[in-house]
Amino acid sequence: MPSTIREAGAGDWPRIWPIVQDVVTEQQTFPYDPAMTESEARQQWLVPAPARVAVAVDGDRVLGTANRYPNRPGPGSHVASGSLMVARDARGSGVGRAFEVDLVGWARRTGFAAIQFNAVVETNAPAIRLYESLGFVTLGVAPEAFRHPVEGRVGLRIMWLEL
Ligand SMILES: CC(C)(COP(=O)(O)OP(=O)(O)OC[C@H]1O[C@@H](n2cnc3c(N)ncnc32)[C@H](O)[C@@H]1OP(=O)(O)O)[C@@H](O)C(=O)NCCC(=O)NCCS
């Protein structure tokens, strides 16, 4: 699927929201409130600078979105983090990998020492395979920390890439 990654603008939100809404209401991959309103989701996803929000586009269509930010403020701000969602019908075509390669490049250029994902759902095989293929390792698992609608309580991994 031909796609370009670029910075998201405020005008992209109407095409980002259906992707976020689908992922959040499904409750299989993100520990977000499934009842969150559009304006709450907008505030949470469109993180302010120096954090960044990206979209993958094919012409006018938004195929996916990712954001990236320091994992913690102050003394924790040398470690980056981020979140990623690809539209259901655009998955499996390289969009997620392109976002993650972009994230790693941005984090290196910006001078971050590492990237940490704080809550990767243990049953999310596509995400875990993608992150491991880029060199991320699992530091630990918070057992049964996520209520999966099909699998019941499953673990949340902390994943880490040393830069
Ligand atoms: C996880 C997600 C972002 C992957 O995006 P994607 O665009 O489908 O991923 P890609 O097509 O770039 O595939 C990248 C890698 O992911 C893995 N992968 C993708 N789909 C997979 C599947 N169905 N089963 C197992 N591994 C899979 C493969 O390792 C693949 O590597 P390849 O490039 O060698 O094929 C996407 O499934 C998604 O948005 N899921 C819902 C939200 C989510 O889980 N976000 C991450 C939270 S931690």
**Looking at residue 32, which CATH number applies to its domain?**
3.40.630.30
Q: What is the pLDDT of residue 148?
A: 98
Share of the chain above pLDDT 90, in %: 95
Q: Is the CB of 125 under 6 A from ligand 1?
A: yes
Share of the chain above pLDDT 70, in %: 99
Per-residue pLDDT at 1 exceeds 80: no
Q: What mean pLDDT comes out for the span 123-131? A: 98
Tens digit of pLDDT for each residue in 135-147?
Answer: 999 999 999 999 9
- Please state the domain count of the chain: 1
| Element at 139 (helix H, strand E) | strand 137-148
Q: Is the CB of 82 under 6 A from ligand 1?
A: no
Long-range contacts, 130-137 (Cβ 8 Å, 24+)? 130/96, 130/97, 130/100, 131/100, 131/159, 131/161, 133/97, 134/100, 134/101, 134/104, 134/161, 135/161, 136/160, 136/161, 137/161
Q: How confident is the model at residue 50 (pLDDT cuts 50, 70, 90)?
A: confident
In this structure, what is the dihedral angle of CA atoms 151, 39, 101, 120, given to the nearest 10 degrees? -20
Q: What mean pLDDT comes out for the span 42-54? A: 93
Q: Is the CB of 85 under 6 A from ligand 1?
A: yes
Q: What is the pLDDT of residue 21?
A: 98
Domain range for 15: 4-162
Per-residue pLDDT at 2 exceeds 80: no
Nearest CA to ligand 1 atom 44: 29
3-state secondary structure of 122: coil
Tens digit of pLDDT for each residue in 94-126?
Answer: 999 999 999 999 999 999 999 999 999 999 999
